[in-house]
Amino acid sequence: MKKLAVLGATGSVGSQTLDIVRRFKDKFDVEVVAASKVSPKLLKVIDEFKPKYVYLKNPEPIEGVEVLSGEEGIKFISSLDIDHFVNAVSGIDGILFTYHILETGKKLATANKESVVCLGGLLKDKFKKVIPLDSEHSAIFQLLQKEKDVDKIYLTSSGGPFLYTDRDEFSSVTPEKALKHPKWSMGQKISIDSATLMNKGLEVIEAHYLFGFPYERIDVVIHPQSIIHGLIQLKDSTILAHLSPTDMRYPILYALFYPERVESNLKKLDLLSIGKLEFLPPDTEKFPLLKVAIEAGKKGGAYPIVLTVADEIAVRKFLLGEISFLDIEDLIISSLEKFNFPEPKSINDVLSIIKEVENYLGGKVC
């Protein structure tokens, strides 16, 4: 049996990872789970999967299990004899897990794009060992397994809940409206990022680090049906596409069994029921954060870190009702204009940049 560590076990991706484990009980043993705090959901996970260790961001005792916390706890977990680490932690809290796991040379499957964006310039070649869990990056990863003569990669986007909404109406957008993604069931942070298209900007930076493609060879295309998750254009100008239903369990299943493919009882894609597939150019006048994010990625250095921290704090403030939907843009852009840090040379440099941006914005992300 393969030993698993499911980090972010009570979140959206973590919960779907555990659902795959349930379907293949004879294949996986969950040795570690991580969560931000003790909750009824976490206690149910512990009771069902009986992990040896539980990591908590906000530690408190749990009967019958060893509780770990802090960076020392992360280092200990990273040193364990684990076959697969799944980083499903939301936001910048996932950075130290990604850093220490990759430093040990262990296998990492990750949906935590923030850690890839923030650590990409520092860890560089180590990301070649990462198996992506995001549906778009998993699609590209799978397509690249067989094809090497690739000219360009395309990341698709549903366009979010406001694809057909005039920008004039954005001033009245509430968190409730922004959280209603038309295709995917996701956590709050990624749902708001999808509404602003920041999520796709972060994914472009992530693709740059994961696959080693220059930004000029990474494109974004709006695809409202969310059936095609990624495309690659070959040097002979032909295009290959990856299709699946809008269900994160498909990329999770692939990552857990990689490089094998296994038969599953997940719902099969019914091509005849789809009807049509549409492709539109992204509107960066209406959704400027897509362009802002890509420009930050191209600048490199500390800019992707500032971008990520500012976005996380802005989203949190919006969800709490402290700022408006359009204020998210202003806060991120002003942060990128404010800071010009030297390129980080160590994890401590990365953490120092995070703290300075936190202090400037009056928020905390890790």
254 found inside a domain: no
Q: For 312-341, what is the mean pLDDT?
A: 97
Contact 251, 185 (CB under 8 A): no
Residue 184 confidence (pLDDT) above 80: no
Same domain, 121 and 163: no
Residue 317 confidence (pLDDT) above 80: yes
Check residue 37 and give its pLDDT.
96
Contact 269, 187 (CB under 8 A): no
Check residue 181 and give its pLDDT.
83
259 found inside a domain: no
Residue 55 confidence (pLDDT) above 90: yes
Check residue 128 and give its pLDDT.
83
* Residue at a domain's end among 103, 133, 163: 133
| Segments forming the whole domain that contains residue 115 | 2-133
256 found inside a domain: no
Average pLDDT, the chain: 95
Same domain, 74 and 176: no
Residue 363 confidence (pLDDT) above 90: no
pLDDT digits (tens, 9 = 90+) for 188-207: 999 999 999 999 999 999 99
Same domain, 107 and 231: no
Same domain, 172 and 274: yes
Check residue 235 and give its pLDDT.
96
For the chain, counts of helices (H) and of strands (E): 15, 11
With cut-offs at 50, 70 and 90, classify the pLDDT of residue 255. Answer: very high
Whether the predicted model's global pTM rises above the 0.75 cut: yes
**Token match 């004899």: residue?**
81
Count other C-beta atoms under 10 Å from residue 140's C-beta.
25
* Residue at a domain's end among 78, 109, 133: 133
pLDDT digits (tens, 9 = 90+) for 80-139: 999 999 999 999 999 999 999 999 999 999 999 999 999 999 998 899 889 999 999 999
Same domain, 281 and 155: yes
Same domain, 71 and 148: no
Pick from 314, 343, 339, 345: nearest CA to 328? 314
Same domain, 125 and 150: no
| Cα separation values, 180 from 134, 161, 192, Å | 19, 6, 9
Same domain, 161 and 123: no
Check residue 186 and give its pLDDT.
79
* Residue at a domain's end among 255, 287, 319: 287
Check residue 183 and give its pLDDT.
79
pLDDT digits (tens, 9 = 90+) for 282-304: 999 999 999 999 999 999 999 99
Q: What CATH number has the domain bearing residue 86? A: 3.40.50.720
28 found inside a domain: yes
295 found inside a domain: no
Same domain, 175 and 220: yes
Same domain, 115 and 235: no
Check residue 227 and give its pLDDT.
96
58 found inside a domain: yes
H-only helix segments in the chain: 12-23, 40-49, 70-79, 95-103, 113-123, 135-144, 175-178, 188-196, 198-211, 249-257, 271-274, 288-299, 303-319, 325-338, 347-361
Residue 218 in 3-state DSSP? Answer: strand
Same domain, 124 and 150: no
Residues 6+ apart with CB under 8 A from 330: none
With cut-offs at 50, 70 and 90, classify the pLDDT of residue 148. Answer: confident
347 found inside a domain: yes
Residues 6+ apart with CB under 8 A from 210: 116, 127, 130, 132, 137, 141
Domain count, the chain: 3
Same domain, 141 and 213: yes
Residues 6+ apart with CB under 8 A from 183: 158, 225, 226, 246
Spatial separation of the C-alpha atoms in residues 218 and 189, rounded to whole Å: 24
